[in-house]
Amino acid sequence: MAAHDTSTPPAARTGFWARYRGMILQAVLLMAIWLVLSGHYDFLHIFFGVISVALVVWMNAHLRSLPLAGETCGASCIRLGRLMLYLVWLLKEIVKSGVYVAWVVIKPVSPISPSIVRFTSKQPNAMARMILGNSITLTPGTVTMDIKDDTFIVHALTDETAAGLVSGDMESRVAKLYCGDISGEDACGNVCTITTRKER
């Protein structure tokens, strides 16, 4: 007579920290942002902060359970350590680009040359494409206009920001958040400047 397998399923054996690590870290980060932006540390403000953070984490957990176009099984697990390093790098790029844009604006002979650039980037999944699109928009001098499959359409303020946009650096860094390793044409290929208008 065959014995029944009474062993605990792998999912049930998963530890509490492994199962809820992402939600806990997300809640701590959001609460820290709430406290910094609020500047008030009385019971009422902290209470509203806890309620708001709990609501956002709960909604985000349900959204992440929905399948995204282009995602494959196991491709959506972001590496938190790499994410922290990426955020530090992104902050540096935002500051550096902000200083550059300010210099462009106040310079007597402005090098402003708006252009719309189209390129492809083979990111591991839809979340990676979203992170890349938002990172481009957060960086002064470039704005993501549209993302369709692997194709990005971005507005660039100057020729220099357009060149930095298609260097492939940001694209490869985002892919590595999901253990993807892309470079060259896969990171940023099929570059096409759709329109360019020189300011006089």
0.85 exceeded by pTM: no
Q: Which CATH class is domain 80-196?
A: alpha beta
Q: For residues 174 and 123, is the Cβ–Cβ distance under 8 A?
A: yes
pLDDT tens digits along 85-110: 898 999 999 999 999 999 988 887 77
Q: Residue 38 pLDDT > 70, yes or no?
A: yes
The two structure tokens encoding residue 78: 């972001």
End-to-end CA distance of the chain: give it in Å, rounded: 88
Half-sphere exposure in the Cβ direction for 31 (13 Å, CA):
16
Q: Residue 5 pLDDT > 70, yes or no?
A: no
Name the segment(s) of the chain with CATH classification 3.30.70: 80-196
Alpha helices, DSSP H only, in 1-158? 10-13, 16-38, 43-64, 80-106, 126-138
Say how many residues make up the chain.
200
pLDDT tens digits along 152-190: 999 999 888 888 888 888 988 998 888 767 777 777 777
Amino acid identity, residue 89? W
Q: Residue 200 pLDDT > 60, yes or no?
A: no
Q: Residue 128 pLDDT > 80, yes or no?
A: yes
